[in-house]
Amino acid sequence: MSLEKFSIIESTLREGEQFVNAFFTTEQKIRIASLLDAFGVEYIEMTTPCASPQSERDCAAIAKLGLKTKTLTHTRCNLEDVKLAVETGVNGVDVVIGTSSKLRDFSHGRSINQIIDLAQEVFEYLRKQNVEMRFSTEDTLRSDPEDLFQVYEAVDKIGVHRVGIADTVGIGNPRQIYDLVSQLRKRVKADIEFHGHNDTGCAIANAFAALEAGATHIDTTILGIGERNGITSLGGLVARIYSVNPEYVAKYQLPLLMHLDQVIARLVNVDIPFNNYITGFSAFTHKAGIHTKAVLNNPSTYEVLKPEDFGLTRYIHIAHRLTGWNAIR
Amino acid sequence: MSLEKFSIIESTLREGEQFVNAFFTTEQKIRIASLLDAFGVEYIEMTTPCASPQSERDCAAIAKLGLKTKTLTHTRCNLEDVKLAVETGVNGVDVVIGTSSKLRDFSHGRSINQIIDLAQEVFEYLRKQNVEMRFSTEDTLRSDPEDLFQVYEAVDKIGVHRVGIADTVGIGNPRQIYDLVSQLRKRVKADIEFHGHNDTGCAIANAFAALEAGATHIDTTILGIGERNGITSLGGLVARIYSVNPEYVAKYQLPLLMHLDQVIARLVNVDIPFNNYITGFSAFTHKAGIHTKAVLNNPSTYEVLKPEDFGLTRYIHIAHRLTGWNAIR
Ligand SMILES: O=C(O)CCC(=O)C(=O)O
Ligand SMILES: O=C(O)CCC(=O)C(=O)O
Ligand SMILES: [Cu+2]
Ligand SMILES: [Cu+2]
């Protein structure tokens, strides 16, 4: 398992821009990138420069900031798009193409062999550039596994640095993801990235299962914003891994999480959900008497995350009709 | 796997009452119970009558409503409490005691043998009453497995109908839950219930893993409200299981979900999270051009939940700078 040495690919500036309420200006993108850099994520991923002239300028501007975090942009699998991507000066290019029959029939209309040909052309070009290169298959979970492995092995031979699995519609469950990543781990030399949507509540658990099975990179966004109800959230992934061992996330500036969540919530005009991981207002509240009494004795009785590690405090609700005599002694 | 025949134990009136903002009046509790009955959950669980005279009266009042859903109340593991529980007229009593060393040291202070003795006394009494009886161990995930199985086997011999696993602090992950439930499945004849907190984002995935491993009953609350950031939400569990096969949740009145979420959000003074399963405002939105084009062709390209099955509609965002030419043809 790669919990000791995983990397976060923070995609608020790509997947997050696909959230229905997200319309970031250049200044806002620079602010988000800088905060993510301060937090310490290893990568930030940005919308393809092909989306618009502004996207192109913003990619280039952020690539030039000299952040510690590596910059990536995300493109479709064709030569024109990746050339534009490389020209923005980013550190890496994340290439994606749909492999499920649903997407092949109703989206781009290509066969698996055509996909492999395209990918070969794209990565033959990319490997002569000085960039990290990643290949991922959209809608991986509804793709034929044999198709998948054929494509992954082809790009692995060319020398891509990472291959990605994407649960595009949020249909995967942790035991499936564990199996798929375990198999892929045996088939390719490349690092393995996981990107998971949260439609059915498994985005965090799936990312964790992927890491347990040998994935090395996880995609997140702040508050989990993205298409539909979004993907694995940065704070949620951190909470999950912290609960295994706080050392595994000590490389991040955890007390910045609240600020990151607040900034994004404001920019996309939502409230931080009341039950959000770590930063929701109820995250560190204790109410029933049996809980409050024990937490006053020793917080770890009913707490796996220490609020103080995130610059936060707990709230113990005392003297309510549910508390009973235990709480008020 | 018991996806075809699982039951929901809806605990908004017990775990949900432990949410920091929840202070339900009798009238509100009756309204919630009636809506849950209309939705079709198999059980509702209510706060122990020992919490207060109002709790006792409310249990009795709801037990008398003549709902189709079975009524349960939740008590500590002692004779006095379960007697009071039975007197309220509920259909079943959910008994719980902490088995982890954390809770034994800092909460109730009893040894495993003392726990077994207590449980024996309680269930010898209960099995002479005409009620369903459940035994669960609080903080199961941080308990010694040998302690656990010893206690579960003891109560199984007495004939409890269900044994419960509780991830009280939200530390469990799906592969652990799958293993634990699989082992327990071999050790006891009783049905198996799972109750999971969501501190580290696995409450839905863990409930699903429990079902895959043979659990039969899952605890939920509306919007997931409960201690700290709560537990498996009713809507989230439904979304997860629907994604496997909509038939498995066809027994519920899915179009009532939005109303249930809205009513509870109002009563506990929170907003429905923007990214809430099914009922969050972004759940059925599509934005990037590649998505909107494909969804217009065939919604299942980027949707695993059909909004119309929940009485809802999708929103396709067209003509934004991220959409590109694909969306506007
Ligand atoms: O590039 C990827 O791996 C993921 C693309 C994406 O957002 C998705 O498929 O959901
Ligand atoms: O009765 C149970 O199984 C669960 C009690 C509870 O709410 C918990 O342990 O989190
Ligand atoms: Cu995505
Ligand atoms: Cu609980």
Chain B CB within 8 Å of residue A277 CB: yes
Of A169, A203, A315, the CB nearest to B304: A169
Catalytically annotated residues of B:
291
The pLDDT value recorded for residue A34 is 98
Atom of ligand 2 nearest to the CA of B137: 3
Residue in chain B nearest A53 by alpha carbon: B321
Give tens-digit pLDDT for B147-189. 999 999 999 999 999 999 999 999 999 999 999 999 999 999 9
Residues on chain B touching A270 (C-beta within 8 angstroms): 274
Chain B CB within 8 Å of residue A316 CB: no
Chain A CB within 8 Å of residue B171 CB: yes
Q: Which chain residues have CB less than 5 Å from ligand 4, an ion?
A: B 15
Q: Which residue has the tokens 């409960």?
A: B226
Q: Is the pLDDT of residue A262 over 50?
A: yes
Report the alpha-carbon distance of residue B20 to residue B10 in Å, rounded.
18
Using pLDDT thresholds of 50, 70 and 90, give the confidence band for residue A176: very high
Give tens-digit pLDDT for A97-136. 988 887 777 667 788 899 999 999 999 999 999 999 999 9
The pLDDT value recorded for residue A2 is 82
Q: Is the pLDDT of residue B328 over 60?
A: no
Give tens-digit pLDDT for B41-87. 999 999 999 999 999 999 999 999 999 999 999 999 999 999 999 99
Cα(B251) to centroid(ligand 1), Å = 34
Q: Is the pLDDT of residue B102 over 80?
A: no
- Among the listed residues A161, A259, A291, A320, the single catalytic one is A291
The pLDDT value recorded for residue B255 is 98
Q: Is the pLDDT of residue A49 over 50?
A: yes
Is B225 in contact with A275 (Cβ distance < 8 A)? yes
Q: What is the mean pLDDT of residues A236-250?
A: 98
The pLDDT value recorded for residue A101 is 80
The pLDDT value recorded for residue B29 is 98
Chain B CB within 8 Å of residue A311 CB: no
Residues on chain B touching A229 (C-beta within 8 angstroms): 274-277, 280, 282-283
* B216 and B192 Cβ atoms separated by less than 8 Å: yes
**Ligand 2 atom 5: the closest Cα is on which residue?**
B138
Cα(A305) to centroid(ligand 2), Å = 18
Give tens-digit pLDDT for A54-106. 999 999 999 999 999 999 999 999 999 999 999 999 999 999 998 888 777 76
Mean pLDDT, rounded, of chain B? 93
Give tens-digit pLDDT for B271-323. 999 999 999 999 999 988 778 888 888 888 889 999 999 999 999 987 655 54
Q: Is the pLDDT of residue A329 over 80?
A: no
The pLDDT value recorded for residue B1 is 54
Give tens-digit pLDDT for A130-161. 999 999 999 999 999 999 999 999 999 999 99
Q: Is the pLDDT of residue B265 over 90?
A: yes
Q: What is the mean pLDDT of residues A298-307?
A: 91
Cα(A87) to centroid(ligand 3), Å = 24
Provide the number of CB pairs (under 8 Å) joining chain A to chain B. Answer: 251
The 3-class SS string of chain A reads CCHHHCEEEECCCCCHHHCCCCCCCHHHHHHHHHHHHHHCCCEEEECCHHHCHHHHHHHHHHHCCCCCCEEEEEEECCHHHHHHHHHCCCCEEEEEEECCHHHHHHHHCCCHHHHHHHHHHHHHHHCCCCCEEEEEEECHHHCCHHHHHHHHHHHHHHCCCEEEEEECCCCCCHHHHHHHHHHHHHHCCCEEEEEEECCCCCHHHHHHHHHHCCCCEEEEEHHHCCCCCCECEHHHHHHHHHHHCHHHHCCCCHHHHHHHHHHHHHHCCCCCCCCCCCCCCCCCEECCHHHHHHHHHCHHHCCCCCHHHHCCCCEECCCCCCCHHHHHC
Of B169, B201, B206, the CB nearest to A277: B201
Q: Is the pLDDT of residue A13 over 80?
A: yes
Taking only residues 138 to 167 of chain A, the set having a beta carbon closer than 8 angstroms to any beta carbon of chain B reads 139
Of A209, A270, A288, the CB nearest to B175: A209
The pLDDT value recorded for residue A105 is 72
Around ligand 1, the residues with Cβ closer than 6 Å are A 15, 74, 94, 96, 136, 138, 164, 166, 168, 195, 197
Of B169, B202, B204, the CB nearest to A240: B202
The pLDDT value recorded for residue B266 is 98
Atom of ligand 2 nearest to the CA of B136: 3
Q: What is the pTM of this model?
A: 0.96
Q: Is the pLDDT of residue B103 over 80?
A: no
The pLDDT value recorded for residue B320 is 54
The pLDDT value recorded for residue B290 is 78
Q: Is the pLDDT of residue A42 over 50?
A: yes
Using pLDDT thresholds of 50, 70 and 90, give the confidence band for residue A301: confident
Chain A CB within 8 Å of residue B285 CB: yes
Chain A CB within 8 Å of residue B179 CB: no
Give tens-digit pLDDT for A22-41. 999 999 999 999 999 999 99
Residues on chain B touching A47 (C-beta within 8 angstroms): 322
The pLDDT value recorded for residue B325 is 39
Atom of ligand 2 nearest to the CA of B14: 7
* B169 and A295 Cβ atoms separated by less than 8 Å: no
Q: What is the mean pLDDT of residues B30-43?
A: 98
Q: Which of A46, A168, A206 to mutate to test the pocket of ligand 1 (most atoms within 8 A of CB)?
A: A168
Atom of ligand 1 nearest to the CA of A164: 3
Q: What is the mean pLDDT of residues A200-217?
A: 98
Q: Is the pLDDT of residue A322 over 70?
A: no
The pLDDT value recorded for residue A328 is 35
Using pLDDT thresholds of 50, 70 and 90, give the confidence band for residue B109: confident
The pLDDT value recorded for residue A193 is 98
The pLDDT value recorded for residue A314 is 92
Q: What is the mean pLDDT of residues A251-266?
A: 98
Is B285 in contact with A228 (Cβ distance < 8 A)? yes
Chain A CB within 8 Å of residue B75 CB: no
Q: Is the dihedral of CA A35, A37, A39, A45 positive or negative?
A: positive
